[in-house]
C-alpha cells in the first residue's frame, strides 16, 4: 500500500517506522530521567530502543513500538506488551521494575 504525502510516495511501512521512532524517542526521554541509558537503533526495521543500566551495559532490554488494532504499544524483546505507547511513564516504570532486580543482584 502506498500513500501520497505532499507529492511524495510513501509506503505504509515507512510511516510505521517513522511513528515507531517517534514513540521510542519519547520513551527514551522518560527512561533517561530515571537514570537508564538508551541507544536508538533506527536504521533497522522495526526501529528499536536499547535500554541499559549505566555502568553495567550487560543489564538491559530492547524495546520496540508495535501497532495493534487498539493503537501503538511498547513491547519487550521477550514479546511482552508493557504499556500503551501514549503512556511513556508507565512503560518506563515497567522497564525499571523488570531491570532493577538484575541491577541490584549484580551490584556488590
First to last CA, the chain: 53
In which residue are the cell numbers 536508538 written?
A: 40
- Report which of 50, 104, 39, 53 is spatially closest to residue 76, judged by C-alpha positions: 50
Parent domain of 13: 2-106
Q: What is the residue-level pLDDT of the chain in tens, covering all 108 positions?
A: 444 444 444 455 778 888 999 999 999 999 999 999 999 998 877 899 999 998 888 899 999 999 888 899 999 999 999 999 999 999 999 999 999 898 888 877
CA atoms within 13 A on the CB side of 76: 15
What integer pLDDT is reported at residue 1 of this predicted model? Answer: 42
What integer pLDDT is reported at residue 39 of this predicted model? Answer: 95
Total domains present in the chain: 1
What integer pLDDT is reported at residue 12 of this predicted model? Answer: 54
Euclidean distance between CA atoms 62 and 52, whole angstroms: 9
Transcribe 42-74 into DSSP letters.
-SSSS-EEEEEETTEEEEEEEEEEEEETTEEEE
Amino acid at each position: 500500500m502506498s500513500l501520497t504525502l505532499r507529492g511524495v510516495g510513501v509506503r505504509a511501512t515507512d510511516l510505521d517506522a517513522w511513528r515507531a521512532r517517534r514513540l521510542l524517542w519519547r520513551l527514551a526521554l522518560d527512561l533517561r530521567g530515571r537514570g537508564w541509558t538508551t541507544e536508538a537503533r533506527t536504521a533497522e526495521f522495526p526501529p528499536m530502543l536499547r535500554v541499559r543500566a549505566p555502568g553495567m551495559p550487560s543489564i538491559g532490554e530492547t524495546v520496540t513500538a508495535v501497532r495493534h488494532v487498539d493503537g501503538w504499544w511498547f513491547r519487550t524483546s521477550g514479546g511482552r506488551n508493557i504499556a500503551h505507547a501514549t503512556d511513556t511513564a508507565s512503560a518506563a516504570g515497567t522497564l525499571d521494575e523488570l531491570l532493577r532486580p538484575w541491577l541490584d543482584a549484580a551490584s556488590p
